[in-house]
Structure 1
Amino acid sequence: MGDSSRMTFFFIDLYTLCRRSVLLACLLLATPAWSAEILLTAAEDGAGVQAFTKALAEQRPQDHVTFTPLKDLPAPSHLPATTRLILLDLPGLDWRLQDAQGPPTLVLRISRLQAHERPGSTQHPRITLLWSDPPLERQLRLINNILPQAQRIGVLYSADSEFLLPELRQQATLLGLEIVPQRWDNINDSRPLQSLFRNSDVLLGLDDPQLYNPKTAKNLLLSSYAQQLPLVGPNAGFVRAGSLASTYSDQADWLTVLDHLLEQPPATWPRALYPRHFKVVGNPQVARSLGIEQVDDASVAARLAEGEKHP
């Protein structure tokens, strides 16, 4: 073979190699460097669950995001260890707690009280709890912000929520506030409620469904109006029913939390956390009826966020 032929083959080989290199580079750029199997589960497969799954999949297109009803799943230890498991309800958590093994797990829609009723949930080495109830410190600072004259914070509690009082007192002391606690064992007896109202400047609702539910709402809210005593919290739903204001995190906030955690190695996930992102909701009609300045939701939320400390 002559020199010209060898040079021709050399350039053909070089051209082919370059084309393959360019194609490989394009494939590498098009394929994410790392993708995860993200499995969501719940006992009920409703429209809300499907919408959340779809939103997470759209937020993380590099991952494989799927939903499987809880009844169709094997034991957690039979799932691939590389899966990232997201539980959307309490039956899912109860199922997960039965197995010490299994993939790293994020639990949504769980309150401090619900976890307290399941002691193993806060100790399980592969579970991270994402709290659904507003942080006590954040709720107290909300009161400080919208009702700066209020010093005595009345708090109804039950046997279930009593464990929150030490933390509540500690946070209140840091803000120069006083907690006035009142146990309410019988929701048909209004005397503890009236006693608390007489000794408080504002009532802070704990996320305790035994005390704050559709049966108690009318009595609580009418008493609040009658005494001209605002109720803050316990959640956004109660604000719509007639309390003054609350902080809360919506689906967009939870998706942001999940996106951040899923970017990190599961070994670095904390045992529990509150969402850093949140909003404030106020009830203008309640503010007017109590003679209180209407809450500017966005500006109050911004002020609260500025004052928060994060690790």
Structure 2
Amino acid sequence: MGSPSRMTRIFYKLWRRGLLLVCLLLATPAWSADILLTAAEDSPGVQAFTQALAAQRPEDRVTFTPLQDLPPPSRLPATTRLILLDLPALDWRLQETQGPPTLVLRISRLQAHQHTGALQHPRISLLWSDPPLDRQLRLIAAVLPQAHRIGVLYGTDSEFLLRELRQYAASIGLEIVPQRWDNINDSRALQTLFRNSDVLLGLDDPQLYNPKTAKNLLLSSYAQQLPLVGPNAGFVRAGSLASTYSDQNDWLAVLDRLLDRPPANWPRSLYPDHFKVVGNPQVARSLGIEQVDETDVAARLAEGEKRP
């Protein structure tokens, strides 16, 4: 049998190892979440997003199930964190108030306005896909400081955004010049707006900004030497001057932060605080405008949002 001092050292080593194990257990999350993503259709993009989220949250169980394979929302486990990736999935979720806490991705303000109950549903949080109106206005102020009259085409679906837009514009010394455009085949509304504006701000309204209207809008913009800002990154590639946008990495950062919180603390709706700026150098040259420094402008806009 070993000496008492040797036994004491052995006991002390075992005690230290036990203490270390306890510390490691306390430092490791004591729970993992079941995160379920769903959409009406599977696609490579959906799978890539699911895999990226799973890689970001290895302690959780992240899975994708097509909408058609899911039971009614109320029959899903209440502990599940549900993430919806398209509008059919939102319609399915809106059928019942019961069911797991739900995050809705890839939805615009206009789409939510058209889906009655989305904003009032007690277990739904909406993560907006369209650029924030105030951020787009501050983008205009940053890249076109001489522009004060902001022309805005709107339709029946997007008219509800005008009041908010006017409030944001007034707070930074800009004026909104609204123009209703009910008939996209009639350019007179465009010409009227161009005559009274310094720049055109595109709302994310697919009735007004779509592949069918893009050529007319952009050619008219060039002809009048009037820049178009927005409505989204895709339109910048087509020929508008610039826009703010959030990419997949930005959305993953938002989700990571929200999924670390109890669902009771999820906001009813929010825009991602991570974003980027995209500009079209060719359009800037054709309009005689200085090329947008995407990184610098994005940093300045982000800094402005941090200030109270």
In 2, distance between residues paired with 1:55 and 1:263? Answer: 16
> Is 1:199 the equivalent of 2:201?
no
1:125 to 116, 122, 125: 122
Corresponding residue for residue 265 of structure 1: 262
Corresponding residue for residue 56 of structure 2: 59
Structure with the greater alpha carbon radius of gyration = 1
Deviation at 1:35, TM superposition (A): 1.2
Give structure 2 stretches of 5+ with no counterpart.
none
1:223 to 200, 207, 220: 220
Deviation at 1:62, TM superposition (A): 1.0
In 1, distance between residues paired with 2:189 and 2:90? Answer: 35
> Is 1:109 the equivalent of 2:111?
no
Deviation at 1:136, TM superposition (A): 0.3
Residues 80-139 of structure 1 deviation map (CA, whole Å, 9 limit, x = unaligned): 111110001111100000010001000000000000001200000100000000000000
Aligned residues: 307
Give structure 1 stretches of 5+ with no counterpart.
none
Structure 1 residues 1-311: aligned runs within 5 Å = 18=15, 21=18, 25=22, 28=25, 32-309=29-306
Instruction: Look up the SS of the partner of 2:118 in the other structure.
Output: helix
In 2, distance between residues paired with 1:112 and 1:248? Answer: 14
In 2, distance between residues paired with 1:277 and 1:175? Answer: 22
In 2, distance between residues paired with 1:16 and 1:255? Answer: 43
Instruction: Look up the SS of the partner of 1:234 in the other structure.
Output: coil
Q: What TM-score, normalized by structure 1, do the two folds share?
A: 0.93
Residues 149-181 of structure 1 deviation map (CA, whole Å, 9 limit, x = unaligned): 000000000000000000000000001111000
In 1, distance between residues paired with 2:24 and 2:299? Answer: 43
Which stretch of structure 1 is more off in the superposition, 60-69 or 129-138?
Answer: 60-69
Give 2:188's aligned amino acid: R
In 2, distance between residues paired with 1:144 and 1:230? Answer: 13
In 1, distance between residues paired with 2:90 and 2:184? Answer: 29
Residues 176-234 of structure 1 deviation map (CA, whole Å, 9 limit, x = unaligned): 11100000000000000010000000000000000000000000000000000000000
Residues 231-270 of structure 1 deviation map (CA, whole Å, 9 limit, x = unaligned): 0000000000000000000000000000010111111111
Distance 1:28 1:228, change over 3 A: same
Which stretch of structure 1 is more off in the superposition, 25-34 or 286-295?
Answer: 25-34
Deviation at 1:49, TM superposition (A): 0.3
Give 2:123's aligned amino acid: R
Q: What TM-score, normalized by structure 2, do the two folds share?
A: 0.94
Deviation at 1:33, TM superposition (A): 2.1
Deviation at 1:24, TM superposition (A): 5.2
In 2, distance between residues paired with 1:286 and 1:34? Answer: 51
Give 2:304's aligned amino acid: G
Deviation at 1:22, TM superposition (A): 6.4
